[in-house]
Structure 1
Amino acid sequence: MLLLSDIHGAFGALAAVAKRGETLLILGDFLNFLDYRTLEGMVTDELGIEFAADIAEFRRTGDYTAARHAWGSAFEASELDLREAFLVRARAQYVAAASALEGAKGYATYGNVDLPELLAEHLPPGVAFMDAAVVEIEGLSVGFVGGATVSAFMGGKRVTEDEMAERLALIGDVDVLCTHVPPAVRPLRTDVVTGRQERASVAIADYLSDHRPAFHYFGDVHQPQAIEWRVGDTLCRNVGYFRATGRPVRHE
Structure 2
Amino acid sequence: MRVHVVSDVHGAAEALASAGDGADALVCLGDLLLFLDYADHSRGIFPELFGKDNADRMVDLRTARRFDDARALDQELWAGLDRPALIEKAVRKQYAELFAAFPTPTYATYGNVDVPTLWPEYARPGTTVLDGATAEIGGRVFGFVGGGLPTAMRTPYEVDEEAYAAKVAALGKVDVLCSHIPPAVPELCYDTSARRFERGSEALLEAVRSVQPKYALFGHVHQPLVRRTRIGRTECVNVGHFNHTHAPWALQW
Structure 2 residue aligned with 1:3: 5
Instruction: State the Cα distance separating 1:69 from its structure 2 match.
Output: 1.2
> For the Cα contact (< 8 Å) 1:216–1:237, is it kept in 2?
yes
Matched residue type, 1:36: Y
Q: 1:153 to 1:7 in 2, by over 3 A?
A: farther
Gaps of 5+ in 2: none
Q: 1:120 to 1:218 in 2, by over 3 A?
A: farther
Aligned partner of 1:44 among 22, 43, 47: 47
Structure-to-structure mapping, 1:1-252, within 5 angstroms: 1-20=3-22, 22-39=24-41, 40-76=43-79, 79-101=80-102, 103-150=103-150, 156-252=156-252
Give per-residue Cα distances to partners, 1:135-185, cap 9 Å, x unaligned: 11111110001000037576x232111111111111111010000000110
Structure 1 CA distance for aligned equivalents of residues 199 and 36 of structure 2:
17
Structure 2 CA distance for aligned equivalents of residues 58 and 91 of structure 1:
28
Matched residue type, 2:9: I
Matched residue type, 1:202: E
Structure 2 CA distance for aligned equivalents of residues 70 and 85 of structure 1:
17
> For the Cα contact (< 8 Å) 1:3–1:239, is it kept in 2?
yes
Moved more, 128-137 or 10-19: 10-19
Give per-residue Cα distances to partners, 1:87-122, cap 9 Å, x unaligned: 110001000012212x52110000011001212321
> What value does the CA root-mean-square deviation take over the aligned residues?
1.5
Matched residue type, 1:46: L
Secondary structure of the residue aligned to 1:16 is coil
Give per-residue Cα distances to partners, 1:192-228, cap 9 Å, x unaligned: 1121111211111121112211110000000001111
Moved more, 15-24 or 80-89: 15-24
Structure 2 CA distance for aligned equivalents of residues 29 and 241 of structure 1:
10
Matched residue type, 2:240: G
Structure 1 runs of 4+ aligned residues shifted over 4 Å read 151-154
Secondary structure of the residue aligned to 1:17 is coil
> For the Cα contact (< 8 Å) 1:112–1:153, is it kept in 2?
no
Moved more, 10-19 or 145-154: 145-154
Structure 2 CA distance for aligned equivalents of residues 47 and 235 of structure 1:
42
Secondary structure of the residue aligned to 1:85 is helix
Give per-residue Cα distances to partners, 1:31-62, cap 9 Å, x unaligned: 01100110110000011112111111112111
Secondary structure of the residue aligned to 1:178 is strand
> For the Cα contact (< 8 Å) 1:19–1:104, is it kept in 2?
no
Structure 2 CA distance for aligned equivalents of residues 15 and 251 of structure 1:
18
Secondary structure of the residue aligned to 2:194 is coil
Instruction: State the Cα distance separating 1:80 from its structure 2 match.
Output: 2.2
Q: Percent identity?
A: 37
Tell me the TM-score normalized by structure 1: 0.94
Structure 1 CA distance for aligned equivalents of residues 9 and 154 of structure 2:
15
Q: 1:193 to 1:239 in 2, by over 3 A?
A: same
Matched residue type, 1:246: H
Structure 1 CA distance for aligned equivalents of residues 199 and 121 of structure 2:
27
Tell me the TM-score normalized by structure 2: 0.94
Secondary structure of the residue aligned to 2:193 is coil
Structure 1 CA distance for aligned equivalents of residues 154 and 69 of structure 2:
17
